[in-house]
Structure 1
Amino acid sequence: MDSRMYVLKFPKATIDQPIICNLMKLYGVEFNILKADINRQQEGLMVLELLGHKAKLKEGIRYLKELGVGVERVASRIGRNDDKCFQCGACTGICPTGALALERPTMAVLFDREKCSGCGLCVAVCPVRAMTVTLDHSAL
């Protein structure tokens, strides 16, 4: 089974629809909602992990897009400025998904965008602000 992190942007017209529930029922795609900002008066934003077989994930993403839901990989909203990063490792201890890890024996900080959930904890602890996460409504 594959696991991918996504940012979903729901148009105002779809806020009251059980889209994520239907995604699971129709395509067998499991989900883990990591962040959600849903307001009936405006569009909604959700960060979630989708788990399933690759073909089913593709079908599910196509279904979301057909409903007008904006779909974007979280990885495209995460950045690390390698010129700023001095490999202190502060981010590795706080990263809940293991997207930031120390490589032994070199002690280099490795960053795997595909594992990143966009939680932003690394941004808060980085002394030089080498990490960036843009997942708010204005960023999409």
Structure 2
Amino acid sequence: MKKIKLILYFPPEKTDKPFTYHLVKDYDVIFNILQAEVQPGKRGRLTIELEGTEENIQRALAFTRDYGIEYRPFNKNIVRNQGECVDCGVCTSVCPSGALYMDTDTWKLNFDEQKCLVCELCIRACPVKAIDVNMFD
């Protein structure tokens, strides 16, 4: 099984259509919505993780393109410089997914990359600039 993360861009006329239903039913892929900004009649954006066989993912991507939805790979992640971090926890207060959290036994900052939405709120919140975004291909 393969997993990929994508950002989908919906044109206004597609935001009220059952697109994700077809991904599951017709292309046998599992999807996880990581972040959504979708309103009927307005351009929408959906960050998702797709899981399935290589063939099914490729078929699902072809359907996405043919359906009129633009997509691009989700190619960035958050990096925490542990040498710079002072474990103050300020970043945890702005993290919407709970990816950044304090260990209540050690009072050390922990980061769960799998939960991270890469919203970048933590970068602006960090008083010592110990958090950055990494772009990759």
**TM-score, normalised via structure 1 length:** 0.62
Unmatched 5+ stretches in structure 1: 99-111, 134-140
Say which one has the larger Rg: 2
Please name the residue that 1:48 is paired with: 48
Question: Partners in 2 of 1:51 and 1:9 — Cα distance?
Answer: 19
User: How many pairs were matched up?
Assistant: 115
Separation of aligned partners in 1, 2:31 and 2:53: 13
2:57 pairs with 1:57: yes
Q: CA deviation at 1:27?
A: 0.7
User: Counterpart in 2 of 1:21?
Assistant: 21
| Residue matched to 2:105 | none
State the percentage of identical aligned residues: 26
Q: How does 1:1-140 map to 2 (within 5 A)?
A: 1-75=1-75, 88=85, 117-120=117-120, 122-124=122-124, 126-127=126-127, 128=129, 131-132=132-133
Contact residue 5 and residue 117 of structure 1 kept, 8 A: no
CA RMSD of aligned residues (A): 3.5
For 1:53, the aligned partner's letter is T
**Which amino acid letter does the alignment assign opposite residue 62 of structure 1?**
A
Distance change (3 Å), C-alpha of 1:13 and 1:41: closer
The answer to whether the 8 A contact 1:5-1:116 is kept is no
Which amino acid in structure 1 is aligned with residue 23 of structure 2?
Answer: L
Contact 2:15/2:41 (8 A) holds in 1: no
Equivalent in the alignment of 1:102: none
